[in-house]
Amino acid sequence: MKISKLKDLFKVISIIFLLVLNVAQVSFAMMSMDEKGMVMNANNDNLPKDCPKISEEVNLSIHAGRKYATKFNGKMFAFDQQEWNVAPCAKINITFINDDQIRHQLMIHGLPGYLYPEGMLHLELYGEGELHASVILPSQKKTYLVHCELAQHAEKGMKAQLKVGGGDGDLPSIPALSAPVKVDIYKLDWQAVMWGGVLILLVSVLTFYSGRVLFLYYLKMNK
């Protein structure tokens, strides 16, 4: 009898286990995908724990493409903007537009895991086109990483930041906004600093003669 009861207990435990597993699979349900692209973890109405209500609703249209990199030196891909600022507990309605003929993504990292599995919102377009998704941000002051996670896309410029309540600092290597941690080395334009030589000559001659004049004046005064 006792053994069979133990077996029952195991059954109950395994059923609970399976239920938990099913909950984990909600992440599957939070995804929509077709031949044009996919949206993962969009959130239209689930409030973060620390937000009693939505503070503001912001419509952001974000373009991605090679042509937005032309305003930066030494980049290949970029978003049309590199920084967005919203209030704590804001809801942002994103229109993501891909202007290239290749795949691009818009990923926001560091979101609360209980609302966004793996802490991210993931928008992806398989080619030219657009898609829409909303996200509700928590109240905390934070700078979120926004980038495209295709190989070398963020590295070559497709990187930005989303600041909530002013954010908590800048992320590195955002085009024209923050310096990279590991920098490129360029050649120095020596012609551009040539005039420095003339300046040195001029300053030294001036110093010499003014010094001489002052010294002679000193001698004269002490006679």
Partner 1 sequence: MYNGFLKNNKGSLKFMVKKYFIWGGWLIALALIILLVKWFFVLEEHARARPPATVSSSADNANVEKPCTDDHVEWRGAQEIEGVSILASPICEPDNPFTIAAATKGTNNVSMSTLMQSHLAQDSIVMEEDLDHDGDPDVIHIKLEIVELNGFSPDGDYLMNTYNIAPGLQPSLWVYAPKMQGMAVKNFNSRVAHPLLRAPSPVIRVEQGDKVYITLENTHYLPHTIHLHGVDHPWLNSKGQDNDGMEEHAIFPGKQHTYEIQPRHAGTMLYHCHVQTAQHFMMGLNGMFIVEENRPNNWVQTLNVGAGQVRHPSVSVKKQYDQEYDLHYQSLDKQLSKIPQEANDPRLISQKMSREYNMSTSTENYFLLNGHSFPYTLRDAMIVAGENENIKLHIANLQRTPIAVHFHGHKAIIMAYDGVDAQQGSQITRDVFDVSPAQRLDLSLKTQNDGLNSYGAGLWMFHDHVPTGTTTDGMEPGGNMAILAYKKLLDEQGMPTMHEGMFNDVFNKEYYAKKRPIWSVGDFAFLLGDAGLVVPENGELIAFFIVLGLLLGIIGMLMWLYVKKDYEN
Residues that bind partner 1 (CB under 8 A): 28, 33-36, 38, 65-66, 73-77, 100-103, 105, 107, 109, 118-120, 122, 124, 126-127, 149-153, 155-156, 172-173, 180-186
Q: Nearer to partner 1 by C-beta: 137 or 174?
A: 174
Q: Nearer to partner 1 by C-beta: 1 or 151?
A: 151
Q: For CA atoms 81, 86, 89, 91, give the dihedral sign.
A: negative
Q: Nearer to partner 1 by C-beta: 83 or 100?
A: 100
Q: In sequence order, what are the residues at sequence separation of 6 or more whose Cβ sits closer than 8 angstroms to the Cβ of residue 104?
A: 64, 65, 77, 98, 124, 125, 148, 150, 153, 158
CB 41 within 8 A of CB 121: yes
CA distance 22 to 17: 9
CA distance 189 to 55: 51
CA distance 62 to 53: 25
Place of tokens 């970029």: 78
Q: Which amino acid is at 205?
A: V
Q: Nearer to partner 1 by C-beta: 90 or 161?
A: 161
Least Cβ distance, residue 182 to partner 1 (angstroms): 5
Least Cβ distance, residue 222 to partner 1 (angstroms): 37
Least Cβ distance, residue 159 to partner 1 (angstroms): 9
Place of tokens 């990923």: 107
Q: Nearer to partner 1 by C-beta: 8 or 118?
A: 118
Q: Nearer to partner 1 by C-beta: 91 or 153?
A: 153
Q: For CA atoms 18, 122, 151, 173, give the dihedral sign.
A: negative
Neighbours of 112 (CB within 10 A): 14
